[in-house]
A and B are shown apart, each in its own frame.
Chain A
């Protein structure tokens, strides 16, 4: 299991839910404690060399682990390890091959549940009217768009709503949110307007980074909205998020 750095530090409860859901499905979960970050912040900012060092560390940690899959509760970090490492290691044949081999085993959480385990129904229960935001990497690079929806549709009591322009980026974009704060905020505002129009009271995503951005903006200006990672909804006990 790969728990991205910001989930580890800011949203540990998401990691806990992932473990609980996987165990409930009979998956043997290991957490290599040497793991840190996939290197994406440096990579997205153009610091490829720095990203390479971190990616190398990632390869070292997860290659030494005896596991069939590396499951990650973030479409974005999973994309980094499965799709962008080859670019990070461009021109370095050995490491590129290593990254491709490992990358094939890296799976985003809902992708793993639906396409590897074949899970449809988890028996989760949660009352609310929700919209699902699919992170852009998960949507376009991974193409894992329907899987989280399928899982959410089976959550008892949860009304999954459509919302306008759901394919639009939330405006996070890593350092983009700090370098271009006005545009980034305007993008978040557009999502929040669509959320309001939909009548949803709950926002769910497979990427805590998008949620951090939208929730941060919601707390300043938006309507009261409950914000959860997909894993938290699938891990509800007696209808409550743990």
Chain B
């Protein structure tokens, strides 16, 4: 499975990726806080860094999940909504802060099944699936 990555040298901080992610997860809502990624501002606004799920080898989210709801499928960590209790441990365990809770369940980047909306939404080529 390819990896998603963000480039601070291209990112303009427009956050269209976050809105697309939010709409993808919720179906009809726009709010960057509902995105399963974030944009970090660094050096007094000198740059913005897109932060995306690293699909870690040692995934703290999966390891910390008390319900064993996070499993690996072909290199992508997926949350099983039937097992997820929405306890929020994975949200706090993720050092990148890219897991959110929505409607009582945890939600994380699943690469939109291989065609991420965020990459498509970026007009500045700051997100790459490679």
Q: Do the two shown chains form a genuine complex with each other? A: no
**Chain A residues in the interface with B (C-beta under 8 A):** none
**Chain B residues in the interface with A (C-beta under 8 A):** none
